[in-house]
Amino acid sequence: MKTFNGHKNYNHWNVSLWINNDEGLYKLAKFAIHWEGTKERAAEYMLMTLGDNAETPDGVKYTKSSIRAALVGL
């Protein structure tokens, strides 16, 4: 299986890059994990907070799957 910089695909890598390197998104992620109790629910919370049509500054759409993948190491 081909991966992108250790991630499932480009979208997962890009979303992870932004969540883990943007202070506001990182704080939101940490808060969501603490508040929601699970990373699955934290990803849902973040997607709701960001909005269904939200994109990274690179134009990659945030999805529950890509956000959840970004939360793995947090």
Segment 16-48, tens digit of pLDDT: 999 999 999 999 999 999 999 999 999 999 999
Residue 44 lies in a domain: yes
What b/e string do you get for 28-65 counting C-beta neighbours within 10 Å, with b at 16 or more? bbeebbeeeeebeebbbbbbeeeeeeeebeeebebbee
| Residue 33 lies in domain | 10-70
The tally of domains found in the chain comes to 1
Residue 3 lies in a domain: no
Average confidence (pLDDT) over 4-13: 91
Residue 2 lies in a domain: no
Model-level pTM? 0.91
